């Protein structure tokens, strides 16, 4: 079954291809190694310490997670610890509020890529979206996407769906992909809610096969992961990555 959704009475209502969510989920859940390969192992809490970053990088190397996600201050540390593993470091920018100046976002993106980050995760300018300033939202995302793509990195755009209405989720998804996002993401985990299958299905329905959909925010079990993958996610972000893969037999 492919993840599709009809968006009625909207200029978003046209076919962008389909993503076979059922097939992807079955493959990802075949064993713990396959699942680890689609999980971004994350540590973005404010109180994260160097020993914790060192431990999470060791876990990423052991279980072969898709990436490690850290705040900017730990990016160079993670890059050094993961050297030679081919596991990319993803760094947050404008996180978790989505309220930074565009000039700040560009500068931070370029600085992090120079430090070795290969993926960037920004939060969509939520207040601008809610104010109806869609051009400003697209401009901010496009500015970061250009910095990333010009330097060989990818961009994931976090929508913080728990703060948005349905129409805002639809609009944000379309704006993000049009502006150059490689993935759209559900939640930071810092606001009032996390990833839900409904939000993932809605996001996948908008973007079709044009970009990835990452489910993140308060994901702690294989049962949650299964529901999110079947809804259309092709990347999972979690700080409970090790516990999740151990549910499937990892040691």
Domain with 215 in it: what CATH number? 3.20.20.70
78 within a domain of the structure (yes/no)? yes
Instruction: Identify the pLDDT of residue 16.
Output: 74
6 in a structural domain: no
Res 15: pLDDT? 55
Structural domains counted in the chain:
1
- Residue 3 belongs to some domain of the structure: no
A 10 A CB-CB count for 131 gives: 11
What pLDDT sits at residue 38?
A: 98
Whether 223 is covered by a domain: the verdict is yes
In sequence order, the β-bridge partners of residue 43 are 70
Q: DSSP letter string over the chain?
A: --B----TTSTT-S----B-HHHHHHHHTSSHHHHHTTEEEEE--TT--HHHHHHHHHHHHHHT-SEEEE-GGGHHHHHHHTTTS-PPEEEEESTTT----HHHHHHHHHHHHHHT--EEEEE--HHHHHTT-HHHHHHHHHHHHHHHHHTT-EEEEE--GGGS-HHHHHHHHHHHHHHT-SEEE---SSSS----HHHHHHHHHHHTTSSEEEEESS--SHHHHHHHHHHT-SEEEES-HHHHHHHTT--
pTM, to two decimals = 0.94
What's the pLDDT score for residue 164? 98
Domain that holds residue 205: 21-247
Tell me whether residue 13 is in a domain.
no
Residue-wise pLDDT tens for the chain (251 aa)? Answer: 344 333 333 344 445 789 999 999 999 999 999 999 999 999 999 999 999 999 999 999 999 999 999 999 999 999 999 999 999 999 999 999 999 999 999 999 999 999 999 999 999 999 999 999 999 999 999 999 999 999 999 999 999 999 999 999 999 999 999 999 999 999 999 999 999 999 999 999 999 999 999 999 999 999 999 999 999 999 999 999 999 999 999 99
């Amino acid at each position: 079954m492919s993840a599709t959704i009809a968006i009625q009475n909207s200029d978003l209502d046209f076919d962008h291809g389909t993503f076979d969510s059922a097939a992807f989920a079955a493959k990802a859940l075949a064993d713990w190694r396959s699942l680890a390969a689609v999980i971004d192992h994350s540590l973005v809490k404010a109180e994260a310490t160097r020993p914790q970053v060192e431990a999470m990088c060791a876990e990423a190397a052991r279980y072969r997670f898709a990436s490690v996600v850290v705040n900017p201050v730990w990016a160079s540390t993670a890059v050094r610890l993961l050297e030679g593993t081919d596991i990319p470091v993803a760094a947050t920018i404008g996180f978790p509020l989505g309220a930074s100046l565009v000039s700040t976002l560009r500068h931070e993106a370029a600085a992090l890529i120079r430090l070795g980050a290969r993926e960037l995760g920004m939060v969509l300018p939520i207040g601008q979206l809610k104010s109806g300033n869609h051009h400003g939202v697209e401009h901010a995302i496009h500015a970061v996407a250009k910095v990333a793509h010009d330097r060989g990195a990818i961009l994931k755009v976090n929508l913080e769906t728990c703060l948005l209405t349905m129409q805002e989720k639809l609009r944000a998804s379309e704006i993000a992909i049009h502006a150059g996002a490689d993935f759209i993401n559900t939640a930071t985990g810092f606001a009032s809610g996390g990833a839900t299958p409904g939000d993932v299905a809605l996001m996948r329905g908008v973007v079709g096969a044009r970009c990835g959909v990452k489910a993140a925010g308060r994901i702690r079990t294989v049962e949650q992961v299964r529901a999110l993958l079947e809804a259309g996610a092709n990347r999972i972000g979690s700080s409970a990555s090790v516990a999740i893969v151990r549910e499937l037999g990892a040691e």
